[in-house]
Amino acid sequence: MAFTWTSGSPGVLALPSGRLVRGRALRGGVPDGPPPSYGVYLLGRPPAAAPWEYRWLRWPDFRLPHDRREALSVLTLAWERAGTERVEVACGGGRGRTGTALACLAVLDGVPADEAVAYVRARYHPRAVETPWQKRYVRGFGA
Smallest CA-to-CA distance from 77 within 115, 47, 105 is with: 105
56 Cβ contact partners less than 8 Å away, ≥ 6 residues apart: 41, 43, 46, 47
Say what the pTM is.
0.96
Q: What is the pLDDT of residues 78-110, one digit of tens each?
A: 999 999 999 999 999 999 999 999 999 999 999
Which CATH class, in words, describes the domain spanning 12-139?
A: alpha beta
Residue 142 has what pLDDT?
72
Residue 1 has what pLDDT?
38
Residue 104 has what pLDDT?
98
Q: Tell me: pLDDT of 143 over 80.
A: no
Residue 79 has what pLDDT?
98
Contact 104, 96 (CB under 8 A): no
Residue 2 has what pLDDT?
59
Q: What is the pLDDT of residues 21-66, one digit of tens each?
A: 999 999 998 998 899 999 999 999 999 999 999 999 999 998 999 9
